[in-house]
Structure 1
Amino acid sequence: MSLFLEFHLIQNFAPSNLNRDDTGAPKDAIFGGQRRARVSSQCFKRAVRLAAKQHELLPEANRGIRTKKLKALLLERLAGRDAEEAGAKVEAALGAAGLKLKDDGKTEYLLFLGEGEVAAFAALIEQHWDELPVGGDKKSKKDAKASLPAEIIKKAKALLDGGKAVDVALFGRMLADMPAVNQDAACQVAHAISTHRVEREFDYFTAVDDKGDEGETGAGMIGQVEFNSATLYRYAVLDLRKLLGNLQEDRELALSAVEAFTRALALAIPTGKQNSFAAHNPPEFIGVCLRHASPLSLANAFERPVSPRADQALTEQSVERLTAYEDKLAPVYGAPQDRWLSLDLTDRWPADKGERLASLAALAQRARELAADALGA
């Protein structure tokens, strides 16, 4: 049976520009015929990864790195060796795995690797130091690669197994010329959209020159920044069986990943223009649902946008709308054994709808226990 752990968040941000488009304006989208604020899934996924690192929700060995500077990372781990010789051997080892480097020493595209994979490459180079070539011109490098022992090539290719990195397991990766090491994501994240209609606003600003002359008038600089303020509906869904498979059937690590992801998702706030706006606003509502049939996004609860009211906050109205739509959708598409957990600061989620938790730590722990029960022994 399918097992999906869903996350539904209602989060109100003060004036901000968390995720910009190519013109510097806050991203938006037309939904239900109305313009909505939008924060991209890519933006929130990076914020989740940064939150997990900042709050040390997972051991470093189970985190990933997205970079083109793999050679530089490996040279740091081989710091006791001659730099030029180590550089040549790193290139040979990466070439054996099928990873190409450009003339500047960077990979051709961003790699998403587990810390364990990087450490394993360093260990491979140390283990086979004498067998790896010391470099030369491009032709000799090609010949050197061809002459590498088959054992080294086999080991190098086997290293790219995800390294039990939780963020790689969650969000997947694609290496264009190495499809064998691609990993399908266990987690899908929707673009966050505002539950109500939004218009862009403009902040006209001036900056004064502290060293201006007495007779100097006017500003040293003028400009404008676009921003908005929005109550967002955020949605993510985690395929528990896929997560377990991506983590090489390590059940304890998969459960730790569920707990860490629950906390990181709530703590994740994009960094865009935060020095100007400081919109550090946590979610007002977090709902976690274990689905046994298929995932159910509740975004269409807001196809008709919520309208501002003097007597009720947008967050409160949004949670009420979410509840009503889930009550309509679940009997048709859900399963009787679906279970809800909630953390609700609006007091608008029904008290009898699942289990209510009082803190983020408690919610994350119960999400872990729910996943454990669902996955079985």
Structure 2
Amino acid sequence: MSAFLEFHLIQNFAPSNLNRDDTGAPKDAIFGGQRRARISSQCWKRATRLAFGAHDLLPADKRGIRTKKLKPLLLERLVGRDSAQAEARIEVALAAAGLKLKDDGKTEYLLFLGEGEVAAFAALIEQHWDELPIGGDKKSKKDAKASLPAEIVKKAKALLDGGKAVDVALFGRMLADLPAVNQDAACQVAHAISTHRVEREFDYFTAVDDKGDADETGAGMIGQVEFNSATLYRYAVLDLHKLQGNLQNDRDLTLAAVEAFARALALAIPSGKQNSFAAHNPPEFVGVCLRHATPLSLANAFEQPVSPRADQTLTEQSVERLTAYEDKLASAYATPDDQWLSLDLTGRWPVGKGETVTNLANLALRVRTLASAALEG
């Protein structure tokens, strides 16, 4: 039976510019005919990945690295080896796996590798140090790769298995030259949009020169920064069976990943312009639903934007709107065995609509239990 874990978050941010477009302005979108604040899915994925490490939610060897600098990472692991010889062997070993390096030593594009994959490459080079041929020019390097024993080539290609990295398993990866090692994401993340209409605002700022002369009365620098403030609806859905498959059917790791993801998603805050705005505002509502038929985004609850009221916050109104829309949508598309968990600081989520918890740690533990039961079914 299919098992989808959905995450629905309502999160209000103070004035900020967490995710910028190419002009430096906060990203936005037209939704329901009105301009909304927007934070991209890619931005949330990165913030979630960083939260795994920042909050010590997953061990380093179960996390991934996105980089072009694979060669320096391997050099760090080949301690005690001659640097020039190590570099040559790294190039041959990576070429055997189908990974090419440019003249500057970087890979041709950003790689998303598990820490375990990087460690395995270093171990392969150590193990077969004397068997890895080295050459000087490009032609000799090509010849060196061609002369590698078939066993080493087979081992090198087999190393790219995801390395049981949770974030690689969650968000997937694509290596253009190596489609066999691509990994379909177990998790889909929506662009967060504001539940209400927004307008861009501008901060005109000046900076004073501390060492200015007496006749220098003006500012040493002037400029402006765009920002907004918004109550966001965030949505992500996790295919539990796909996640377990991506993690090589390691059930214990899958459940640890689910618990870590539940916490990281709520703790994740994008880093854009935080030194200027310090918008560290956690979500006031986190709802988790286990569905078996099909995932159901509740974004259309806000197709008609929420409007400010004197007696109720935008966050409170957004949770009420979310509840009403979920009831309507569930009556047509949900199944009787769908289950809700919620952490609600607004008091607007209905009592009796699923199980309520009082803090994030307990929510994550209950999500883990829910996932465990679903994977057994």
TM-score, normalised relative to structure 2: 1.00
Q: Structure 2 CA distance, aligned partners of 1:259 and 1:95?
A: 37
Structure 1: which amino acid aligns with 2:157? K
Confirm or deny that 1:360 pairs with 2:360.
Answer: yes
Give 3-state SS (helix, strand or coil) of 2:89's partner.
helix
* In structure 1, distance between residues paired with 2:332 and 2:186: 25
Q: Which amino acid aligns with 2:346?
A: T
Moved more, 250-259 or 132-141: 132-141
Using the TM superposition, give the Cα deviation of residue 133 of structure 1 relative to its aligned residue in structure 2, in angstroms. Answer: 1.3
1:286-365 to structure 2, matched below 5 A, reads 286-365=286-365
3-state DSSP of counterpart to 2:361: helix
Q: Any conservation in 2 of the 1:64–1:115 contact (CA below 8 Å)?
A: yes
Letter in 2 for 1:249: N
CA distance in 2, matches of 1:216, 1:327: 64
Equivalent pair of 1:78/1:86 in contact (CA under 8 Å): yes
- Find the aligned partners of 1:109 and 1:333 in 2 and give their Cα distance: 42
Match of 1:152 in 2: 152
- Structure 2 unaligned residues grouped into runs of 5+: none
Distance 2:210 2:268 in 1: 37
Structure 1 partner of 2:180:
180
What secondary structure is seen at the aligned counterpart in 2 of 1:358? coil
Match of residue 123 from structure 1: 123
Q: Report 1:254-293 matches (<5 A).
A: 254-293=254-293
1:40 matched residue in structure 2: 40
Distance in 2, Cα, partners of 1:299 & 1:342: 18
1:1-377 mapped onto 2 (5 Å cutoff): 1-376=1-376
Question: What displacement does 1:134 show?
Answer: 2.0
CA distance in 2, matches of 1:241, 1:98: 29
Task: State the shift of 1:79 in Å.
Answer: 2.4
Q: Is the partner of 1:7 in helix, strand or coil?
A: strand
Give CA-to-partner distance per residue, 1:17-48, whole Å, 9 cap, x none. 00000000000000000000000000000000
* Secondary structure in 2 matching 1:366: helix
Give CA deviations for 1:278-304 in whole Å, capped at 9, x if unaligned: 000000000000000000000000000
Q: Distance in 1 between matches of 2:228 and 2:41?
A: 18
Report the alpha carbon displacement of residue 136 of structure 1 after superposing the two structures with TM. Answer: 1.2
Q: Is the 8 A contact 1:6 1:289 kept in 2?
A: yes
How far apart are the structure 1 equivalents of 2:212 and 2:284? 46
Shift of residue 217 of structure 1? 1.5
Supply the AA of the counterpart residue of 1:76: E
Note the C-alpha offset of 1:256.
Answer: 0.4
Aligned-residue CA RMSD (Å): 0.6
CA distance in 1, matches of 2:138, 2:227: 51
- The percent identity for this pair of structures is 84
Give 1:135 deviation, angstroms.
Answer: 2.3
- In structure 2, distance between residues paired with 1:147 and 1:331: 64
C-alpha distance in structure 1 between counterparts of 2:329 and 2:348, whole Å:
18
TM-score in terms of structure 1 length: 1.00
CA distance in 1, matches of 2:305, 2:331: 24
Q: For residues 326 and 80 of structure 2, what CA distance do their matches in structure 1 show?
A: 59
1:331 Cα offset (Å): 1.4
Q: Deviations over 1:71-101 (max 9, x none)?
A: 0000000121000000000001000000000
Q: Is the 8 A contact 1:89 1:135 kept in 2?
A: no
Unaligned stretches of 5+ in structure 1?
Answer: none
In 2, the alpha carbon distance for the partners of 1:44 and 1:135 equals 44
Point out 4+ residue stretches in structure 1 off by more than 6 angstroms. Answer: none
